[in-house]
Structure 1
């Protein structure tokens, strides 16, 4: 059962991160509000998924401090990756005056690394919990925090142009 859980977590992580990276590599305008919609949606999904993940643990055993500490650490790591990625996104003003953004190869590399780190931390969280799918369920919250941090910093760079 554990290897099936790990395989499912890997597949979900690859698909979701792949879709996010694909969007990051396209040239897009920097929007005042639009850049926060996706992280907000991921945030709502993340809260619901974490609640489900906690429920999946506590139905079999009490939730201990270790998986909670690891979850918080995971979300802090997500913010760190977001800050690092923001520095790799190209931001410029086109001839018409519109501010544009586009991820680079370094942005992609950091997304892949962030996905791998989340997968590893998620498996560690689930191992520490001893039951349930809290680590895997935290993917949306991880994306919300990382993408939110990245987009806020990119918006700040765009405003400075």
Structure 2
């Protein structure tokens, strides 16, 4: 899968996530497991391709590996912050509902800009243009999973 295809798939997933989060919806007892699973599988496959492409020319540096890990820490942090911007309430029947806000959308967009900036930094440190971009699916899985967990925790506290 080339970078253009990955970018288009990533943008389609992001559009789906943002659209879905702007609608009031009932809280499920589990995270969006199917979507997280698909993102994780795509992420592992893309990372394996990215690492193989980079290590064909030279070994990965500590700086590159640190930046990849840092990108996932950033993903988790954005997930927590976005979760705090979500509206969470109980309907008259006692079911928990949630809905994103304009701030949630802005944070999604900022998160993606930050991720693409980190991609460029990772690729510069690896001296190859595929490793950083290959982290997009795992980045989305981490940030969405953390956001869902924090929103569920907020709903349980109501």
TM-score, normalised to structure 2's length? 0.89
RMSD of Structure 2 on Structure 1 (CA): 2.0
5 Å-filtered alignment, 1:76-91, equals 76-91=73-88
Runs of 4+ in structure 1 deviating by more than 6 angstroms, as ranges, are: none
- Measure how far apart 1:12 and its partner are: 5.1
2:155 corresponding residue in structure 1: 158
Aligned length: 157
Which residue number in structure 1 is paired with residue 124 of structure 2?
A: 127
1:52 aligns with 2:41: no
Q: Which structure 2 segments of 5+ residues have no match?
A: none
Find the partner of 1:20 among 17, 21, 43: 17
Matched, 1:148 2:145: yes
CA distance in 1, matches of 2:119, 2:6: 8
Q: Contact (CA 8 Å) 1:54, 1:132: kept in 2 or not?
A: no
User: Counterpart of 2:155 in 1: which secondary structure?
Assistant: helix
CA offset at residue 10 of structure 1?
Answer: 5.7
Q: Structure 1: how far apart are the matches of 2:130 and 2:34?
A: 26
Q: Where do 1:85-124 residues align within 5 Å?
A: 85-124=82-121
